[in-house]
Amino acid sequence: MASAGEHDYRVLASEPVFDGHVISLRRDTVAMPGGGDSVREVVAHPGAVAVVALDDDDRVVLLRQYRHPVGRYLWELPAGLRDADGEPPLETAKRELAEEAQLAAERWSLLTTTYSTPGFCDELVLVYLAEGLSDVARPDGFTVEHEELDMEVERVPLDEAVQRVFDGDIRNAAAVIGLLAAAQARSAGPRLRDVDTV
């Protein structure tokens, strides 16, 4: 809801352009301040979760996975799309941690929520902190395939992972945000939101 003095950016028209497996693209015509309108291309995305999984030795779980759009391997957190109908984001995070790292956690906290590229995409990423880790089998029915076939899993001291962010070795946005947020949570103890917040 717009507050006093804010412009009401009404959608005057919306045209679907593309409907894909993960994303869709539409062209919105939006009312602009001072009169007139402008066209905005919007990528609709189901959203995602990422997990900063910290063990009892303050090591974080990192994955090295090939990402085709950038043509390179990236170091990332366990993460995945919110593409299971009706699945709460925390359950998605638990499932992704089990699928990708074969881990479960006793304690969960919501570190942060972030819009990854709000200039053209509505993707919202919820980044969780998972502690009290234990080994588990992959969920029934999950098959390792495609880029996950050569994915590497490592545990790295949190301080070292944070330095790798500043060195430019870790560039995935959710990983950068999650690692820095986890380090701040460790050092400053901020009040975190309820784990079921969206």
Q: Which residues are catalytic?
A: 148
* C-alpha dist (Å) from residue 40 to 19, 32, 46, 127: 17, 11, 19, 28
- Residues with Cβ within 8 Å of 91's Cβ and at least 6 positions away in sequence, in order, are none
In contact, 42 and 119? CB cutoff 8 Å: no
Residues 80 and 74: their CA atoms lie apart, in Å, by 15
CA distance 117 to 99: 26
Q: What angle separates helix 158-167 from helix 173-188, to the nearest 10 degrees?
A: 130
First to last CA, the chain: 18
Q: How far, CA to CA in Å, does 164 sit from each of 74, 121, 173?
A: 12, 27, 13
- 153 CB burial (10 A radius; 0-12, 13-18, 19+): middle
